[in-house]
Amino acid sequence: MFELSERAQDFISKTKNFIENEIEPIEADFWHEVHTLNPDGNWKNWTWPAQLETLKDKAKQAGLWNMFLPDPELGAGLSVQEYAHIAELSGRSLLAPTVFNCNAPDSGNMEVLWRYGSEQQKQQWLMPLLAGKIRSVFCMTEPAVASSDATNMQATAVVDGDEIVLNGRKWWSSGLGDPNAKIIIFMAHTPDENKDRHHQHSMVLVPVDTKGVTIERMLPVFGDYDAPHGHGEISFDNVRVPVENFIGGAGQGFEIAQGRLGPGRIHHCMRCIGAAEKSLELMIDRGMSRKAFGKELLKLGGNLERVAEARVAIDQARLLTLYAAYKMDTLGNMAALTEISAIKVVAPSVLEKVVDMAMQLHGGAGVSKDTPLTGFFAQARSLRLADGPDEVHKGMIAKLELVKRGYSTRKKA
199 forms bridges with which residues in the sheet? none
User: In this predicted structure, what is the pLDDT of residue 305?
Assistant: 97
Spatial contact of 197 and 146, defined as CB atoms under 8 Å apart: no
| Same domain assignment for residues 44 and 140 | no
Domain boundary among 99, 131, 163: 131
Q: What is the value of pTM for the model shown?
A: 0.95
Amino acid at 314: I
| pLDDT, mean of residues 216-237 | 96
Q: Where residue 222 falls among pLDDT bands split at 50, 70, 90?
A: very high
| Same domain assignment for residues 220 and 265 | no
| Same domain assignment for residues 54 and 150 | no
Would you give the distance in Å from CA 378 to the centre of its chain?
13
**With 60 as the cut, is the pLDDT of residue 413 above it?**
no
| pLDDT, mean of residues 342-358 | 98
CATH at residue 36: 1.10.540.10
| Same domain assignment for residues 212 and 308 | no
Domain boundary among 232, 250, 268: 250
Q: Distances from the Cα of 148 to the Cαs of 141, 144, 153, 173, 384, in angstroms?
A: 8, 12, 10, 15, 12
**How many CB atoms neighbour CB 334 within 10 A?**
11
User: In this predicted structure, what is the pLDDT of residue 410?
Assistant: 73
User: In this predicted structure, what is the pLDDT of residue 411?
Assistant: 65
| Same domain assignment for residues 259 and 401 | yes
Q: Reduce the DSSP state of residue 274 to 3 states and report it.
A: helix
Residue 343 inside a domain? The answer is yes
| Same domain assignment for residues 383 and 261 | yes
| Same domain assignment for residues 262 and 391 | yes
Residue 412 inside a domain? The answer is no
User: In this predicted structure, what is the pLDDT of residue 195?
Assistant: 87
pLDDT tens digits, one per residue of 36-80? 999 999 999 999 999 999 999 999 999 999 999 999 999 999 999
Q: Reduce the DSSP state of residue 74 to 3 states and report it.
A: coil
Amino acid at 53: E
Domain boundary among 231, 250, 269: 250
Range of the domain at 171: 135-250
What CA–CA distance (Å, rounded) separates 358 from 376?
11
> What's the mean pLDDT when you consider all of the chain?
95
| Same domain assignment for residues 162 and 213 | yes
Residue 359 inside a domain? The answer is yes
How do beta strands 181-189 and 135-139 pair? parallel
**Nearest Cα to 38, choosing from 229, 217, 233?**
229
| pLDDT, mean of residues 366-374 | 96
Q: How many domains does the chain have?
A: 3
**How many CB atoms neighbour CB 120 within 10 A?**
11
Spatial contact of 147 and 291, defined as CB atoms under 8 Å apart: no
What CA–CA distance (Å, rounded) separates 2 from 318?
11
How much is the CA Rg of the chain, to the nearest whole Å?
Answer: 22
| pLDDT, mean of residues 7-27 | 97
**Nearest Cα to 190, choosing from 210, 214, 166?**
166
CATH at residue 385: 1.20.140.10
**Nearest Cα to 113, choosing from 23, 19, 184, 61?**
184
| Same domain assignment for residues 389 and 260 | yes
Residue 55 inside a domain? The answer is yes
| pLDDT, mean of residues 262-286 | 96
Would you give the distance in Å from CA 265 to the centre of its chain?
7
pLDDT tens digits, one per residue of 169-202? 999 999 999 999 999 999 999 998 888 888 899 9
pLDDT tens digits, one per residue of 100-151? 999 999 999 999 999 999 999 999 999 999 999 999 999 999 999 999 998 8
| Same domain assignment for residues 148 and 217 | yes
Residue 60 inside a domain? The answer is yes
| pLDDT, mean of residues 11-19 | 98
- Where is 375: in which H helix or E strand? helix 373-383
User: In this predicted structure, what is the pLDDT of residue 409?
Assistant: 73
Amino acid at 395: G
| Same domain assignment for residues 109 and 145 | no
**Extended beta strands in 146-226, E state:** 156-160, 163-174, 181-189, 201-207, 213-218
Residue 411 inside a domain? The answer is no
CATH at residue 139: 2.40.110.10
Residue 413 inside a domain? The answer is no
Residue 410 inside a domain? The answer is no
Spatial contact of 213 and 234, defined as CB atoms under 8 Å apart: yes
| Same domain assignment for residues 161 and 107 | no
How many helices (H) and strands (E) the chain has is answered by 13, 9
pLDDT tens digits, one per residue of 77-93? 999 999 999 999 999 99
**With 90 as the cut, is the pLDDT of residue 1 above it?**
no
